Amino acid sequence: MMTHTMRPWMLVLAAGLIVWAGTLHNSFHYDDVHSVVDNIHLRITSFAAITQAIPTYLTDPGTFSIDADKGMYRPLLVTSFALNHLAGTWLGVGGYDVVGFHVVNLALHVGCALLVMWLTGLLGGSRRAGLLAGVLFVLHPVASEPVNYISSRSESLSVLFYLLGVCLYLRAESGNRRWLWGAWLAMAAGLLSKSTTITLPAALLLLDLFVLCRGDLRRLGRRLLHRHLGGWVVAGVYLAIISGNGWLGRSVAQEVRGPWEQALTQMKGAVYYIMLLATPVRQSVEPQFAEQTHFSVEVAGPLLLLLSMVVAAFWLARSACWRALFLLCWACLHLLPTLVVPLNVLVNERRAYGPMAILCVGAGILLASLGMRQQRRVLAWAGCLVLSLLSIERSQTWADEFSLWEDTVRKAPLMSRAHLYLGNAHKDAALHTQDVATRSRHWQAASESYATAYERARDLDLQLRALNNRGGVHFALYSEKRAGGNTRRDLDVAEQLFRTAVEKSPDYADAIINLGSTVLEAARWAKTRQARQDLLRQSIIFYERALQVRPNHYQAHSNLGVANQDLGHLEAAERHYRQALYLHPGDWLTLKNLASVLLLLADRDLASDTDEAARQRLVEAHRMVQRALRLNPAVANGRQVLEAIESRLRTLKERD
């Protein structure tokens, strides 16, 4: 039988599982591709391998992503992704089964909710206050991004250890220093998940000053050495590590915006987070939010609101409302790193996750102090129902790329990134569609989205991606029309877009690869064998140049396979196709192309009467082309390659 003490905890657990259960089959999204799906550093298939990989995660920020230039020092987060891959492999559902990743994200969110309950009690709140705080946190729609977006696990994982550190610090008031050591270990784990945990020592200092010492500076001074030194040592060691591995230097060296522009922009940002927490009704993965470069009426309102918060803090101090003062200051402190440090993304929902946990503690204590008469109980249940419905609705938006980015474009039509990713959704749909008319509509929509993304882009990265992807649309249209005697118009448009991207950024690997592909296509128009071979060798130069910039670019290896196959260098083609599949095992086009090369090699074996070698190649080719067709039934020439392989296998059987 459930005890009276356990009932609130089980209610919060049940509420979280019921409201967020619908997220388990939602897809991977945008940054998940480079940090999870394509990240070769996560492909762990045994417990022995994970023990060997962890030291690398702890020392190399590059393991965070397949792209070294997107590396971040978050080794505990990377380890959690690798363990997800290991568990999926061990269970036989595949290392990238999205359900397993969502289960962990949901478990972390529920864990944070339970810690919110514990913290409420440790700060003097009643059992009812803890229940209210936990339910409010676990149901709040702001949690939709950390629950639904796999890469946002960094937020929930770091907040989990952040809250745990504060709880253990408060438990150490009992006199047992083991709790204090636990707080420092929790802080270290939080820092290894996300760098925003760096504010924890300052938060504990505020906790000591306002709650434990009740504003008595002398008492705080006597506690500094034995109660706080450990936290600052952990922070110092962390800073030394990220300085030593180069991640801190690279992060600081990026010039995003000046201090004045950052201050003005984040004045608006602070108000955005307040409104998001208070009225989470128009959430967007890419809010319509612009950089502020000068003081204006648009900044005056947020400035007055922030000044009023400062006045409120002074009033709380004069009124000796120490607990409320601590929670207000702590919420601001938790958000401070993202407000002060200039980042490419101006604002996003997940940054409010930690402050939400803190404010839910205060809200739970406040609501419990008001009593729970019949009318208030009805209002409380109604509030929970509204939050639940908003969270469920928001999770449905995260179901796939179309639902997510169509919603974002509708709510933030001026944001370039929203149009870029909606274009990607249309592009992927076109590549997986067999119906010609439907495919044409998707290509048209993708081209329009990329054009809009380019027009509205304010930074070079988005401009480059929009140009390159729009060129990719025209290249795909050319490839589809080539068999019907296409006049090369789409190919010429694609080449011009790729060249523009390379002119803007000579080291932009994606556009360099695509330029190589236009040269490869030109080879197929060549009138002499020598001209064709010269153009194929030129395309190889482009692909190798791209690999110098990004050594792990699977598409460069895949296209090198195509060029070598056209040159008749079948062994080299096979080698590059296999490397491309190692980097991206689910690339259906490379699977089909490798199957076609194995078919050609098998034909050579059959001609030289080495039947067993031919059989082995054909069996592998058959397996690969079948997998390619399962991944994408519309893969070009897939059925023809499959029929040719099956024909050769029948020939071998007749020989036997």
Tokens of 421: 């990713």
* Residue 558 lies inside a defined structural domain of this protein: no
Note the pLDDT of residue 379.
85
Q: What is the mean pLDDT of residues 69-94?
A: 94
What tens digit of pLDDT does each residue of 353-403 get? 999 999 999 999 999 988 767 777 788 889 999 999 999 999 999 999 999
Q: Is 292 left (phi over 0), alpha (psi -120 to 50) or beta?
A: beta
Specify the higher pLDDT residue, 159 or 256.
159
Highest mean pLDDT among 87-91, 173-177, 252-256: 87-91
**Dihedral angle, C-alpha 406, 411, 413, 418, nearest 10 °:** -50
Residue 352 placed within a domain? yes
Q: Average pLDDT in the 520-543 region?
A: 92
Domain-embedded: residue 27: yes
| Of the residues 376, 397, 418, the one at which a domain ends | 397
Q: Cα separation of 30 and 37, whole Å? A: 10
**pLDDT tens track for 610-625:** 888 999 999 999 999 9
Contact indicator for 105, 144 with CB cutoff of 8 Å: no
Model confidence pLDDT, tens digit, residues 258-272: 888 888 888 899 889
Which SS3 state, helix, strand or coil, does residue 279 take? coil
Q: Is residue 496 part of a domain?
A: no
> Using CA of residue 147, residue 153, residue 158, residue 161, what is the dihedral sign?
positive
pLDDT score for 513: 97
The last residue of a domain, from among 397, 431, 454: 397
- Provide, for the chain, the percentages of residues in helix, strand and coil under a 3-state DSSP scheme, each rounded to the nearest 5: 80, 0, 20
Confidence of residue 1 (pLDDT cuts 50, 70, 90): very low
Smallest Cα–Cα separation from 352: which of 322, 379, 332?
Answer: 332
Query: pLDDT at residue 254 above 80?
Result: no
Contacts of 211 (CB under 8 A, 6+ apart): 123, 322, 323, 326
Q: Does a structural domain hold residue 627? A: yes
Percent share of the chain, pLDDT over 90 = 76
pLDDT tens by residue, 98-134: 999 999 999 999 999 999 999 999 999 999 999 999 9
- Residue 526: its pLDDT value, please? 87
| pLDDT, position 6 | 87
State pLDDT tens for residues 196-211.
999 999 999 999 999 9
Among candidate residues 380, 397, 414, the one where a domain is terminated = 397
Assess if residue 510 is contained within a domain.
Answer: no
What are the structure tokens assigned to 464, written together? 């480059």
Mean pLDDT over 48-60 rounds to 94
pLDDT at 3: 63
For 444, the token pair is: 């048209």
pLDDT tens for residues 140-153?
999 999 999 999 99
Taking residues 84-109, report their average pLDDT.
95
Tell me 568's DSSP state.
Answer: T
| 571-592 average pLDDT score | 95
pLDDT in tens, 418-461: 999 999 999 999 999 988 899 999 999 999 999 999 999 988 99
Q: How far is CA 255 from CA 61, 250, 252, 452, 524, in A?
A: 20, 10, 8, 26, 44
**Structural domain count of the chain:** 2
Q: Which domain holds residue 218?
A: 19-397
CATH code, domain carrying 601: 1.20.58
Picking from 288, 276, 287, the residue whose alpha carbon sits closest to that of residue 390 is 276
- pLDDT, averaged across the chain: 92
The answer to the question of residue 570 being in a domain is no
pTM, to two decimals: 0.93
Please give, one letter per residue, the 3-state secondary structure of 359-378: HHHHHHHHHHHCCCCHHHHH
Which amino acid type is present at position 118?
Answer: W
Please answer whether residues 427 and 318 qualify as being in contact, where contact means their C-beta atoms are separated by less than 8 angstroms: no
Helices 509-523 + 460-481 axis angle, to 10: 20
Percent of the chain surpassing pLDDT 70: 98
Residue 626 contacts by C-beta under 8 Å, 6 or more apart in sequence? 642
388 inside domain: yes
Q: Span 304-327, mean pLDDT? A: 92
Q: Are 618 and 594 in contact (CB under 8 A)?
A: no
- Which pLDDT value is given to residue 249? 85
| The pLDDT of residue 434 | 86
Helix (H) or strand (E) holding 241: helix 217-244
